[in-house]
Amino acid sequence: MPLHIETPVVRSQALSRLSGKEVWLKLEALQPPGSFKLRGVGAACEHHAQRGARRLISSSGGNAGIAVAYSGRMLGLPVTVYVPESTTQHARDLIKREGATVVVHGASWQEANALAQTQVSADTAFVHPFDDELLWRGHATLVDELAAAACNFDAIVLSVGGGGLLCGVVEGLRRNGLSHIPVIAVETAGADSLAQSVAAGSRIELPAITSVATSLGAKQICAGAFDVVHSHDLRSQVVTDQDAILACQRFLDDHRLLVEPACGASLALAYGALPDALAPFKRPLFVVCGGATTSARQLERWRTER
Ligand SMILES: *Cc1c(COP(=O)(O)O)cnc(C)c1O
């Protein structure tokens, strides 16, 4: 039994009217832990549990950590999430609410992750937030659901952090005979490790993450995601933080769903940022990837602070 739920795919009247296109939404924000991450993370955790893992560990203070904590609770396995001091109290609380132990260590993710790695053993499985084929196979189920729903989209818009979602969606398109569907991969400026890698022709590492879209904040995309640049019709796009934040606020009004700027980055295209990016398409589908770590108050603070 997969741990994720089948999510609705709906035609957005608000965004269709606004854009003059037929806009489809895959509502991954409705996964119980708040993001698509549960698809891949849940599949990976189940895989490890079946192979005898007795505990699960993660080093993500974001949605991956929350999804591992949720999966552990569902599977009856203890979970420890190692996070850096910079992880907000809200995110720590979301992980604890799933019954996991939170260990705060170090100033940056690198240090928290280094400590997590020392805990990996025969009976303790580490779940990576994006760079794992097990995860991609799980993420691909979202495309299986679109294919089963006979949803007739002509492009798929998604956000890119480390590139796990991208790899999973491309795998899903392939295994459903939809390899010809272009993927529009969106990042925010300051977390644009894919766009800069595409421009450089090699997998670059950002010196720092400066975007509020922390869930997109992988300094380097995974090798699998860079392979997709060459093997699929991939169109890399970058929006501003302001565009992403405003898209979150407008989406909350239009669809009554609160999502992180990481998700707002994709939705910004539906709200008119970068009109050229959508111009060739009539029926774009947006992966509403979600994210549980923000609040309406935080969105408003970001909007007025910048
Ligand atoms: C993790 C995450 C992303 C990015 O996914 P990757 O697999 O790292 O590319 C985007 N949005 C949200 C809400 C996320 O949690």
pLDDT value of residue 119: 94
For the segment 229-259, what is each residue's pLDDT rounded down to a tens digit?
Answer: 999 999 999 999 999 999 999 999 999 999 9
Q: How far is the CA of 20 from the centre of ligand 1 (A)?
A: 28
Check: CB of residue 130 under 8 Å from CB of residue 163: yes
List of domains in the chain: 9-36+134-305 (3.40.50.1100), 37-132 (3.40.50.1100)
Is ligand 1 within 6 A of the CB of residue 228?
Answer: no
Is ligand 1 within 6 A of the CB of residue 155?
Answer: no
Instruction: Classify residue 28 by its DSSP letter.
Output: G
Q: How far is the CA of 125 from the centre of ligand 1 (A)?
A: 21
What is the per-residue DSSP string for 174-227? HHTT-TTS-EEEEEETTS-HHHHHHHHTS----S---SS-GGG--SS--HHHHH
Q: How far apart are CA 125 and CA 254, in angstroms?
A: 40
Model pTM score? 0.97
User: Which of 180-189, 196-205, 297-306 is predicted least confidently?
Assistant: 297-306
User: For a substitution probing ligand 1, which of 30, 95, 215 has the most ligand atoms within 8 Å of its CB?
Assistant: 215
State both tokens at 226: 């860079």
Which protein residue's CA is at the shortest distance from atom 11 of ligand 1?
Answer: 262
For the segment 38-71, what is each residue's pLDDT rounded down to a tens digit?
Answer: 999 999 999 999 999 999 999 998 999 999 999 9
- Helices and strands (H, E) in the chain, number of each type: 14, 10
Q: How far apart are CA 72 and CA 77, in angstroms?
A: 5
pLDDT value of residue 306: 61
For the segment 183-200, what is each residue's pLDDT rounded down to a tens digit?
Answer: 999 999 999 999 999 999
Compute CA 31 distance to the chain's CA centroid, rounded to the nearest angstrom.
Answer: 12
- Higher confidence at residue 168 or residue 1? 168
